[in-house]
Amino acid sequence: MIVVKMGGSDGVNLEAVCADIATLVGAGEQIVLVHGGSHETNLISEKLGVPPRFVTSPSGHASRYTDRQTLEILVMVEAGRINKRIVERLQQSGVNAIGLSGLDGRLLEAKRKETLPIVEHGKRKVLHGEYSGQIERVNISLLRMLLETGYVPVVAPLAISHRHEALNVDGDRVAAAIGSALNAQVVVILSNVPGLLKDPTNEASLISQVPLSQAQEYLERFAQGRMKRKMLGAIDALKSGVKRVMIADGRVEHPLQRALAGWGTVIE
């Protein structure tokens, strides 16, 4: 069982990922693919006259303020545009993909964060009407049923709240949650860098091994921007039962086979 996370449109080579999935599924592997969609949502939001608003949390993380209007665009782009583009491409590679969001069959249940504490111009504030959440439950039986009948689930990073509202959730955390729920042997996070870098401006400075016991330290010392979330997702996954997380380059040929062969940052 392998869980793969890829971005929506951030330079990851979709055709190459799909070809690798076809090879692995052909060899009997069970695979769940989780995708993102942040970048493309921003583009469509701008065009629709609802520009995204990014905020900084008190702990210094950048995140999107997801009010209901933003959520609806996010749902449209991630569960519609990106999810079905990936499903279409996998079908072209001979993989019987089935696209789902976390809403469908209550695949991902999350606790809603209704308020978002932020820091703006050095001051603490609280934004209300936030629609994001933290995953608390994965509908394992739905995923297992699909996997056992030969489908490859493709999951958009949305969840459903206890009050049945759609929520925005982080794609890396979705991969971690699904990986641990299914006892995956490995979670592969593909991105537009070769892995965790000592120096983010130098791709040759790849850190190839991170022991779980030092992962938090590595995160604080080396991870910047989106890499912070990937490291948090990796730590989450490992703490809840996944044996190995790979953060690897999704821009190359055979990105998935390379990652499984150890190219990238191994956290275990």
- Residues in contact with a second copy by the rule CB under 8 A: 44, 47-49, 72, 75-81, 83-85, 87-88, 91-92, 96-101, 103-106, 141-142, 145, 149, 151, 158, 160, 164-166
Nearer to a second copy, 31 or 266 (CB): 31
Q: Are 39 and 11 in contact (CB under 8 A)?
A: no
CA angle 201/205/207 to nearest 5° reads 125
Residues 6+ apart with CB under 8 A from 44: 73, 76, 77, 81
Nearer to a second copy, 103 or 207 (CB): 103
Nearer to a second copy, 87 or 245 (CB): 87
Residue 8: CB minimum distance to a second copy, A: 13
**How far apart are alpha carbons 27 and 255 in whole angstroms?**
17
R_g of the chain computed on alpha carbons: 18
Nearer to a second copy, 83 or 132 (CB): 83
Residue 42: CB minimum distance to a second copy, A: 14
Residue 35: CB minimum distance to a second copy, A: 13
Q: Are 168 and 71 in contact (CB under 8 A)?
A: yes
Nearer to a second copy, 128 or 164 (CB): 164
**How far apart are alpha carbons 197 and 127 in whole angstroms?**
34
Residue 101: CB minimum distance to a second copy, A: 6
Residue 233: CB minimum distance to a second copy, A: 24
**Strand 54-56 relative to strand 62-64: parallel, antiparallel, unpaired?**
antiparallel
Q: Are 131 and 53 in contact (CB under 8 A)?
A: no
